[in-house]
Amino acid sequence: MFGDFFRLIHIARTLAKHDALVPREFLDAMPASAKFARFMLGLGPKKDRDLPPGQRLARALESLGPAHVKLGQVLATRPDLVGDDIALALGQLQDRLPPFPTDDAKAAVERDLGRPLAAMFSSFGEPVAAASIAQVHKAETADDPPRPVAVKVLRPGIEQEFARDLSALALAARIAERVSKEARRLRPIAVVETIAVSVALELDLRMEGAAASELAQRTKADIDFRVPAIDWDRTSGRVLTSEWIDGIPVRDVEALKAAGHDPKHIAEVVVRSFVQQALRDGFFHADMHQGNLFVDAQGRLVAVDFGIMGRLDPTMRRFMAETLAGFLARDYERVAQIHFDVGFVPPHHSLETFAQALRAIGEPIFGKSVRDLSMARLLQQLFETTRRFDMQAQPQLVLMQKTMVVVEGVARSLDPDFDIWETTRPVVERWMIQQIGPEARLREVGEGMSALGRLARDLPQLLRNAENVSNMLADGGLRLHPDTARAIAEAQITRTRHVRIALWITAASAVGILAVVLL
């Protein structure tokens, strides 16, 4: 507790030095106590104070360490909590740190994989990239012939560092919810819990390997996009080994041209791949910045670093596709109806008024030059408007919108006149045809017939169950199976109170299910 308290003081002082604890832009709305705290904690260098509030907060979080970088990344997906400008600034957080010694990385690989380094790798180079959680080394396997691979290794002690910072953040969240009604509305405890879950996944590199493997499987038919293969024999919770990519970074436009690649085509592939992953697969790379994208010798786009992935369930995918299609067709009433159909906008609002608000978003877009059109900006304005109509934040959609901002930026860096609408339109239309066209109707009929077939197959057993229950009721009441009764009796003697309760609940549930069969 005392350690958490002193850690919070350090965090407060760091935020204050960057003018991010009580930003001067919000001073007029602050109570006197907040102004006094700001004065006592002091301010930092003037160069930071001249930045916008979101950038000051991002710099403060970067200086506080990896847990706080992760906090910023989570807050970047919650503009409903921090506002759109700050969320956008936090989305640009730089997750870079100096590398740790290569000898420490080698020792970690041997320790975690349980084999001598020479038995796994014929060479193991210096780090080529270093972030807050892990760093990457280029190596060659000990196979014959050797294969070049990328070896990602967690930082030593990173788990303990995260545990310390998350404990302090959890204390701050509990205090905030106890003393502030507004904090209770924003639910900081839930935010910290979300960070803890996200961190637990990122600190197990097998999960990143699984994400890469899943994305590779889902996109295997895409001829212009690929994912590096995972070397599972050299992968563990703290070590991830994958195929080494000899490619040109998409940020190096001149090198791409020199190698004979068309930057305009690559821009189309970047956007099309992202939209296909989101709509078609419901599973997308959510960190598609320039440092994670390469072009190989065959001209294929290659993505790396699968620590941040997004998912869209079928409802969200259909919602996004129909929303984009509605805006493309300028059918604002249809877009409004979609929001009401899925329950995003409460029914006490007027459908016509909401459609009018959507028209105010869409109409200014049409007639602009290609250079000025932005799908990410459209989605941002859409979410801003829906919040005014009491739509709660949908984390899946916010992460998609955040990634769209990055993807658009990559495409425009390759082609300043890139037309994101014309690139996206065929993907959305093809998905819509597959989901609500004649083929989809036939597929739904087939699924319905399959369900009826399963019901017909199981019907004799259901009838026998109903007959057994009916006979038991006529013969004095329902009776538990002897094995179930014996388990409960033994639990009364030997098991804990919690196990007994669980067994009784299981038995009661079984009786309830049988009773439902009779109705």
Q: How many CA atoms lie within 13 A of 344 on its CB side?
A: 23
Q: Which residues contact 432 (CB under 8 A, 6 or more apart)?
A: 321, 322, 325
Which residue do the tokens 């960070």 mark?
195
How far is the C-alpha of 331 from the C-alpha of 133, rounded, in Å?
A: 46
Helix (H) or strand (E) holding 317: helix 314-328
How far is the C-alpha of 215 from the C-alpha of 136, rounded, in Å?
A: 21
How far is the C-alpha of 273 from the C-alpha of 301, rounded, in Å?
A: 9
Pairwise pLDDT comparison (29 vs 17), residue with the higher score: 17
In order, the DSSP letters of 235-279 are --SSEEEEE----EETT-HHHHHHTT--HHHHHHHHHHHHHHIII
User: Are the CB atoms for 346 and 388 separated by under 8 Å?
Assistant: no
Give me the residue spans of the domains in the chain: 2-94, 96-161+198-244, 247-436, 454-518
Q: Which residues contact 449 (CB under 8 A, 6 or more apart)?
A: none
Structure confidence by residue, pLDDT tens digits, 400-459? 877 888 898 899 999 988 888 788 888 888 887 777 655 544 444 554 555 555 556 666
Mean pLDDT score across all residues of the chain: 79
Structure confidence by residue, pLDDT tens digits, 315-342? 888 888 888 888 878 899 999 999 998 8
In order, the DSSP letters of 43-57 are ---HHHHTS-HHHHH
As beta bridge partners, residue 263 has: none
- Quick one: pLDDT at residue 426? 85
- Across the range 25-38, mean pLDDT stands at 64
pTM of the entire structure? 0.73
How far is the C-alpha of 397 from the C-alpha of 344, rounded, in Å?
A: 12
Q: Which positions are catalytic?
A: 287
- Across the range 31-48, mean pLDDT stands at 62
Q: How many CA atoms lie within 13 A of 265 on its CB side?
A: 11
Pairwise pLDDT comparison (361 vs 24), residue with the higher score: 361
Is 96-161+198-244 assigned to CATH 3.30.200.20? yes
